[in-house]
Amino acid sequence: MSVIVCTLFENHYHYGLAALINSLYAKGYRGEIYAGYKGNLPQWAENAKPNSEINWLNANTLNVSEDLQIHFLPIEADVHLANYKPSFMKLLFTNMRTDIDGIVYFDPDIVIKCKWSFFEKWIGYGVALVHEIISNDMPQTHPIRKGWIEVAQKINREVTRTINSYINSGFCGVLRKDIEFLYLWEDIINVAAVHYDLNKNRFIHSQDRSNLFFAHDQDAFNIAAMCCNCPVSEMGPEGMDFLQGGFTMSHAIGSPKPWNKKYLISSFKGINPTMADRGFWAYSTSPIRCYSDKTVKIKRISISAAGFIGRFYSKK
């Protein structure tokens, strides 16, 4: 089965992208990675070359190794990248890689922890999904979910399955036969932009969770999971290391990101290093190098020290 990886990034998230790629390589991924971006290419990609063979204007390709390539695809769409995810994946399937069987999307603040082959097997069971930790318990009678049913009705869709948890849109894996999921996700974002005050240029609506599209793309993602006709395969919050016991991914949600954190200072405020922090610095050196050996060593030591301090300080 032929499966590719894609992501979307801008600004300082290129550090997370490098760690994601390094983790993929370490866990056995070989092939091509498609990275849509806004702004400038990162310094570590200075050897990327224009690639006119790719059906994307101004595409550049970096050969990371003999068996790993990154294709950088500039995004011109006037939309926040989070709200562009389904459109990007759909374009890869329909305009660029009509030969592939599947696509796995990762946010650029994720590192993977298990063998790549597990992801290929996972998406064979259905659209691969991971539950959030916040609002994870979200039963069918939840008022927000009831509102989402009304949204679905606007595009003549009905609920096809019972989902009792809120899902994080930072990752999904889709086979070509399940591409309906991407069309539906995109349609819901478009409907919400017209009828529910979803601003495609923003990541979240406001601090008011009572809004049906508080988290724009993620709420649309959850509605698509409720209403798609294709199968889905869910993992709990441990799937992104939101809880202990995970083995698949670490997702650095929130801010600051691992590459911007001051670990010792944070530890005295009762904020301990996360599994995602440790994962980022574990995959910060090879095959893509963003930092000197000295910087990486200092960061790893500071994380260890912060972890020790965290035994005595905790955020109340």
Task: Determine the straight-line distance between the first and last CA of the chain, rounded to whole angstroms.
Answer: 48
The mean pLDDT of the chain is: 94
The pLDDT, as a whole number, for residue 268 is 81
What's residue 204's pLDDT? 67
Q: pLDDT tens, 62-71? A: 999 999 999 9
Q: Is 252 exposed, middle or buried (0-12, 13-18, 19+ CB in 10 A)?
A: buried
Q: Do 89 and 105 contact (CB within 8 A), yes or no?
A: yes
pLDDT of residue 168 exceeding 60: yes
Q: Which of 58, 53, 15 is nearest to 36 (CA)?
A: 58
Query: Among residues 107, 97, 86, 105, which one has the least CA distance to residue 56?
Result: 97
The pLDDT of residue 307: 85
| Contact call for residues 102 and 174 (beta carbons, < 8 A) | yes
Amino acid identity, residue 108?
P
Report, as an integer, the average pLDDT of 232-261.
96
Angle at 256 between CA 250 and CA 258, to 5 degrees: 45
How large is the average pLDDT for residues 227-242?
A: 98
- Listed residue (243, 252, 228) closest to 159, CA to CA: 228
Residue type, 51: N
Q: What structural domains does the chain harbor?
A: 3-240 (3.90.550.10), 256-309 (no CATH)
In the numeric block, the tokens 């459109």 are attached to 87
Between 210 and 64, the higher pLDDT residue: 64
CA distances from 169 to 48, 127, 266, 278, 293 (A): 29, 12, 27, 22, 33
What interhelical angle do 180-195 and 143-154 show, nearest 10? 100
Tell me what percent of the residues of the chain surpass a pLDDT of 90. 84
For residue 51, pLDDT over 60 is answered with: yes
Supply the pLDDT for residue 314: 66
Residue 213 pLDDT more than 80?
Answer: yes
- Residue 268 gets which letter from DSSP? T
Range with lowest mean pLDDT among 46-50, 180-184, 306-310 = 306-310
Residue 316 has pLDDT above 60, yes or no: no
Write the pLDDT tens digit of every residue in 96-151. Answer: 999 999 999 999 999 999 999 999 999 999 999 999 998 889 999 999 999 999 99
Q: How far apart are CA 302 and CA 173, in angstroms?
A: 35
Residue 205 or 296, more confident? 296
Q: Is the pLDDT of residue 205 over 80?
A: no
Please tell me the predicted confidence (pLDDT) of residue 206: 63
Mean pLDDT of 37-51: 97
